[in-house]
Structure 1
Amino acid sequence: MAVGAALAAVVTLSACAPAGYEPADYGNAAEPASNDVAASPGAEPAEGATAEPTAPADPADAEANTPEISDELATTSLTASKVARMGKTVEDQDGFVLYRFDDDKDDPSKSNCNGECAEIWPAALTNDSEPTLKGIDADLVGTVTRADGTKQLTLKGWPLYKYIGDKKPGQWKGQNVGGKWFVINPDGTKNLTCLPAISKPVAPPSDAEAEGGEAGADDTGGDYSY
C-alpha cells in the first residue's frame, strides 16, 4: 500500500508540473499555500516617545524624480489567459506569466523584492502609461513606487513580476518557488490550481548573461530567500 501511495503522489505531481520539468525539480517538501497573507506586525513606539511631525510629500516632486525606463523594460499590456495544467493566469505583452510575492504588501501596496531578488523576479515596470487590458478589471490595476523610484504595476494591490526561469511564453516554473511566489489570477488572488513542491529560484544572471548570454537551464539558486 505504501508503494502504491508513493507512486500515486509522483503521478499527481508529474501531471501538475510545467512541461519539461520533472517532480525532482521542485525539491521534496510539498507544503500547502494560502491565499490569505498574514500582515506583518507594525513596530510599536517606545513608551513616552513622540513621533516628529513630517510634512506631506509633494506629488509633483515625486513625479519629477521618477526614473524613465526604456520601452523594452516597460509592461504595456495585461491579459487574462489560460495555460495548460495551471488554468487562469495574467500575461504581459510578450505572453509571459506574471507572479505575486507573499513578502510584498497589498494594502498599501509595497514591493519587497529588490537587489538580487529583482534580478530573478523582474518587476512589471511602467512609465505611468496605462497598460492595455484584456480580461482584467481596470479598477484592480494600479502602480506602486519601488525603492529605486521606478513605477511597478499592481493587481488588486499586489506588485507584479516575471520570472527569469520562464524561458518562453506560457511557462510558469516560478509557481511555489521558495513557498512565496505564485502565479496570479486575473482577480489578484493566487492561482493554486497546481501547487508543485517548494523549489529554489534560479541563480541571478551572471555578468555574461546580463550582456546577452544565456543562463543554464538547470542553474538554481543557493540560499536565496526569494
Structure 2
Amino acid sequence: MIRRNRIAIAVAGGMATVLALVMWSTNAVGVQGTNVAQTAPAVEAAAAPGDYGYDTPAAAGTDAPAAGAQTSAADQPPAAAAPPAVSNIRLVAKTVDKMGDVVQDGDGRTLYRFDKDTPKPPVSNCNDACAVTWPPLVVPAGSTPQLEGVDPALVGTLKRADGTEQVTIDGWGLYTYSKDPGPGKWAGQGVGGTWFVIQPNGKRNVECLPPGVTAPV
C-alpha cells in the first residue's frame, strides 16, 4: 500500500509539473518558472529507486583493482636472474702427443695450475712478479669463458688480490707460462716442483716431467 501511494504521488507530481510548465509558458506576466520546473526532480529524489519496482544494480567487477591502482612488489612475479655473459676467453680440452690430456686457451697456449694455490676456497697465491712470469687467465667480472670439452660444472672464477676474476677448474686457478716457446708447448711443466699442466678435470698432468722432478703424491 505504501509503495502504491508513493507511485501515485510521483505520477501526480509529474502531472503537476506539466500543468505548471504550460501555465508558465502562457503567463504574460512571467511566473518564476525555475522554481516550478524543479518540482519533478524534487519528487523523484524523495522516492527511493526501490519504490519504482527496481533496485540499483551493483557495480560490476568490484573485486578488481581500480583503474590506475598500483600493485605492490609482492604481487609482481620474481624477476629471473640474468645469465652470466660469455667472454671471448676459451677453454679447450685436448689430447696431445706425449702429454696426453691438457687444457688450452683459445690461442692454443697450454694452461697450468700452481700447487701453492688452494682450491677450497679458491685462492691464488701467485701475484706481483709471479703473475708476470705466470700470467693468470682472467675474464671480465660476471662473465664465463667459452668451453670446448670442459665440464661447465667444474669451471668458475676466483677474485685475485688486484680485484680481477681468474678462471678456475675444480677450484684451481689457471695460468699460462710466459716462457712457453709457442702454442701447444709446455716448457712450464714441473717448474719448481709446483707448476703442472692442468687436465680438464682439474688434476695435475704429470707426464713429460723434466729430470729431477718427481710426480707429487
Same-fold call, TM > 0.5? yes
**Alignment partner, residue 144 of structure 1:** 158
Greater Cα shift, 147-156 or 74-83: 74-83
Q: Is the 8 A contact 1:80 1:91 kept in 2?
A: yes
Q: Is the 8 A contact 1:75 1:125 kept in 2?
A: no
Runs of 5+ consecutive residues of structure 1 not aligned to the other structure: 1-73, 200-226
Separation of aligned partners in 2, 1:159 and 1:198: 25
TM-score (ref. length: structure 1): 0.54
**Alignment partner, residue 185 of structure 1:** 199
Q: Which residue among 161, 164, 167 is the counterpart of 2:181?
A: 167
Query: Among the aligned pairs, what percent are the same residue?
Result: 51
**Alignment partner, residue 115 of structure 1:** 128
Is residue 95 of structure 1 aligned with residue 103 of structure 2? no
Runs of 5+ consecutive residues of structure 2 not aligned to the other structure: 1-86
Q: Which has the larger radius of gyration?
A: 2
Separation of aligned partners in 2, 1:198 and 1:89: 22
Structure 1 or 2: more strand by fraction: 2
**Alignment partner, residue 85 of structure 1:** 98
Separation of aligned partners in 1, 2:109 and 2:175: 10
Structure 1 or 2: more helix by fraction: 2
Between the two proteins, the alignment pairs up a number of residues equal to 126
Change (3 A) 1:198 1:92: farther
Q: Is the 8 A contact 1:89 1:97 kept in 2?
A: yes
Alpha-carbon displacement from aligned partner over 1:18-53 (angstroms, at most 9, x marks no partner): xxxxxxxxxxxxxxxxxxxxxxxxxxxxxxxxxxxx
**C-alpha displacement of 1:75:** 6.5
**Alignment partner, residue 157 of structure 1:** 171
Which AA in structure 1 matches 2:126?
A: C
Change (3 A) 1:117 1:75: farther
Q: Is the 8 A contact 1:179 1:198 kept in 2?
A: no
Higher RCO (C-alpha 8 Å, min separation 6) = 1
**C-alpha displacement of 1:165:** 0.9
Pairwise CA RMSD: 1.4
**C-alpha displacement of 1:167:** 2.4
